[in-house]
Structure 1
Amino acid sequence: MPYHIALQQSQKKRILADIAIDTDGIIVPAAMLENWQQTLDLLSEIVDTPAALIMRVHQSDIEVFASSHSLGNPYKQHDKDSLGHGLYCETVMKECRELHIPNALKDKNWDKNPDIKLGMIAYCGLPLRWPDNTAFGTICMLDSKEHHYSKQFRSLLSRFQNGIEANLVTLFQQAKLQTHNQQLEQVVQQRTHELAELSVKLIREIETRTSTESSLEYHKSYDPLTGLPNRITLINSLSHMLEETHSKGNVSVLYVGLRNFKSINDSYGYLIGDKILTILSQRLQHYADENTFVARIAGAEFVIVQSHTSPHTQVNKLINQIINCCNTPFGVADFVITIPSSIGIAQASSDGIDASVLLQKAGAAMTISKAEGSAYNFFNQDVQAALRQRYQLESHLVDALNKNELSLHYQPFINLKTKAVIGAEALLRWHNPLLGNVSPDRFIALAERNGQIIDIGNFVLHTALSQAAKWCRALQHDFKIAINISPIQMRNPRFVEHIADLLALYQMPPTALELEITEGMLMQDEHLAHNAIQKLQALGIRISLDDFGTGYSSLSYLQKYSFDTLKIDRCFINKLEENEQDRELTKAIIAIGKKLNLEVIAEGVETLEQDAFIRNEECDLGQGYLYGKPITARQFEQEFIHKTEH
């Protein structure tokens, strides 16, 4: 058996092994611990409680792992207490649930708790667990006076719990990968030693004679970066698999593509990008077995082929495994990078029995999945139609600017205290004679992929700033204009300078401009976004975090960036009347904004009940159909500007 094949089989067995991880030995990096510290400080300030702690349990004691820098906090980092005498946190970890004690002195179950000696009589805590379900410790709040922690504050504590446990997943995966690599190295060393003992002379003669031939053969069949089979090997193996299973069962082809991977290479460099692809290939190999085949066929695109007898159950299980595999953050060179993925699935024999045809159809389904922003799509007639529609959209979008088919509509911002119109959001619209009105959700992502977003973004900036400058002059005071920015625009190294040039061109005061960015933009490149935001704010431009509350790490971005405005996503507003949780979350977001001295906008307001709710919570601005639909500049002037002038 050739050496490289034996090595691959040995590596595969090791990768598939279930390895126990010593979680107590995992070290939390300083940067992550600093983020936890900031989380505790923010939690203590918002909840107005003197102590917010992250506790870490060891074999015989429990340690104050991080402690808020707040007045009246008696707990210091690295303080320890032995287990077994009724600590609050012991109960939280043992029962793995929330513990809420407003006043231990009034509770016979807790009136002798050791923390009372430190003056802490109120407690609310949640468990923190590793991915293997072992205990890390707790996150908790304590007070020296009676404190009935509200549902809003406990919900906030739960969100912080989720964020920290997401960090623990990253640390766990890194430790597991390190253990895998160590064991693989041991196997390689052992195998090399055994072969050397058998015949050093024979190996040297074989290597001298066949090294060039083997290298060429290997690169013909395998990807040199990841060691996975390449496209040629995939087609051959898939064809063979289809022949074998033709009368026995089914074959599914899963085409996996990482979204926006080019931005990773552009922002972090190709070495980081290659490392991510290597890590992902190692993760995917966990699912390789005698019925499952993994290949890398191009760039950030992988294919997993599986033969099975129960197609529906097995393929859905594999899809979920791959989604979890891709969505787990990548920890590389002190960066924690998250990259969304899209999967396209084609199946034999319903979608064909030819390897190339199945691969092409799975790729088409993946393309549609990327365009829609969905996790996965099965190939079907709808996908085929969507693909044709996408090509049709793309062909018309190419000439949309030159044919003056693009325009801007404006939707007003309302000051909820004065009921005055203080500004508007510029919203892009496309009307094509053949296609009719095309929603931005359908063509913006397409423009980002084909490179048109730069020209379209410049059209939006010129049109909106020119119009807003006229309104500022007419009203003789700042009129806030909000403009959505694409991540691709912000990646331009001259983006800030370009904005400054446009403001000067149209004699527009910088304080009247607000740029709206999304959490997705921050996830793609935190370093670039941080620098751009700082430079834009230095010019006097306001920065708004759009769709706040819809991402899992929104709160952490409030720690890392200096925003001026929070925009509550419409998904919270449109269910205020019937959903108690949305009401509480909306209250919490407004409260956070107030606490951080940020202006808060509620978008999607359509009813008087919604308006009354956000006014009662002292939200600053409202946007939605209740106050005004998006309309043309001329209609906006007639309805809002001229009225304001008089």
Structure 2
Amino acid sequence: MKPYQDALSLLEQDPLFSQTQVNTAQLAVPDEMFNGWQQTLDLLSEIVDTPAILIMRVTERDISVFTTSHHPDNPYKRHDTESLGHGLYCETVIKRQAELVVPNALKDKEWDRNPDIKLGMIAYCGLPLTWPNGQPFGTLCMLDNKERDYGRTFRHLLARFQNAINANLASLYQSAKLFHLNQVLETKVQQRTLELTSLNKKLLSEIEQRTVIENSLQFHKDHDPLTGLANRLGFVNQLSQQLSQPDELSTYVIYFGLRNFKSINESYGYVVGDKVLQLFSQRIKRILDKDTLFARIAGAEFVIAHRGKNPLELPLIDSIIQTANIPFALAEFSINIPCCIGVAVAPTDAQEASELMQKAGAAMSISKAEATPYSFFNKHTQTNIERRCLLESHLVDALKHQELSLHYQPLFSLQHKRVIGAEALLRWHSPQLGDVPPDQFISLAEHNGQIIAIGNFVLHTAIEQAAKWRSQDPSRPFRVAINISPLQFRDTDFADYIANLLSLYRLPASSLELEITEGVLLQDEQLAQHIIGQLQALGVRISLDDFGTGYSSLSYLQKYSFDTLKIDRCFITNLEKNEQDRELTRAIIAMGKKLTLNVIAEGVETQAQDAFIRQEECDFGQGYLYGRPVDAQTFERDYLSSD
């Protein structure tokens, strides 16, 4: 900033300069400068590991997203606009012209009603951006969907970028002012030429310094800091150059990942996990020739691009498998991690780098799902990709466009013969695709990370609605059941998050029941036990969903503390035809009684099914016989107002 300030001080001594006014609201940011800001935003998002880093621009009436980081968990899009006066984080930063850090808005009374909470963004760190004349440009900020204190290093990086942007704004401001001066100072051309020459020299010096910084940032942008390999962006650029040179050779993109690597970090710690990744990448390097591209994509996933004439390149694939199967000896540990591999071939499967890597990744997913050593991309994989891409392209904005909603299915007390609660069920109606079944988009949201934001939406909406219904008749027992994704349950602060939501909407913990499936329990036994204990200590009820369909359902009852068992609908559907299903249902209800657990029968559709579970003294029923899932207004009219 020093050269700009020196030049500005000299020019401000001229009365004509001080009389020249610049309307900063009309100043446009050039594409080159904008692209530089965008690249730095994306780089900071990777370095800080936070989903949303934004540059906001303010006007007299509103504030909008000028540019935003490209991250799958980022709910903000360019040009998103919010009117002022609603207590936004950034509005406070602009008013105070000072840094604002909010580690967790849900725990902060000043911020617990901030509009960004609805998008799941509870952590915030922001700095003001200002034109040289003191008028605000907006803010530079980063947000996260989990609690973050944004330590000194990350805040220093943000401040460095703030300085660079303010320098850019100063340059734009001065350029605009000089443009106006050139129109009115024709008689001072020679004098201004000398001044501009001096200014240009100083600007050139600034540009040279910025180039050095940008070259350093470019390396980190294209490379993985842990292994030194190319990252996804760097690999795509290198592969694109390779594919642009036509010859008779085929290009084999081999996408591979270490199976169950998460358990390594959890069992041995992240230091050991990082060392395994470094050693593994070094091993793979030794079996590759100098012309083979090699990159770490994310986590424990790697990709290779190899050119050759071999139709299948099986020797290289076998070498990767053998390399992964060699145990890693670290300190007193001996760690084995097999890998799964997917292969796509250019030009047969695709000719573009990104598409080729995407198809290889899809083939790896099939290898992982089918427990095979490797899988090649084929037509079946293509069909799945096309459907998945179509859904994903529409799902990414579904929450923002209010296409997601909740329906509520009655929970019927067989003893009291009335509705005592509801299960909240997520629904997606897309204007383009129509009604999309949950079994098609829930797994997609879990895969691309959207399930956290969607899960937050479900929790907010269902708890707020249950609190409203309960307030209408506090003496009437009512509870709402919500399904929890395994990804949500990985958050060690999940119980605190639930406690904050219950406090925010003033719903007693006993009115909330969280339904978990075998998938939650399989990922980390100790973490699951800990979080279940924390939730039950709050008074929240825990239900084991789809009981009887998993591999270890009985062992779960021994290891974990539950309040409710939900008998899977597959047993209830065949009660009238299958004696074995009747005996199994009878046994589950009896076992639940012995363990003092509430038992819910799902999928009850006929009077005969209802009569059977009543005879066996099942506690609750759920299914079309008692009521189909309906929107909140219909549920209130049909099941609450009539009592």
| TM-score (norm. length: structure 1) | 0.49
| TM-score (norm. length: structure 2) | 0.50
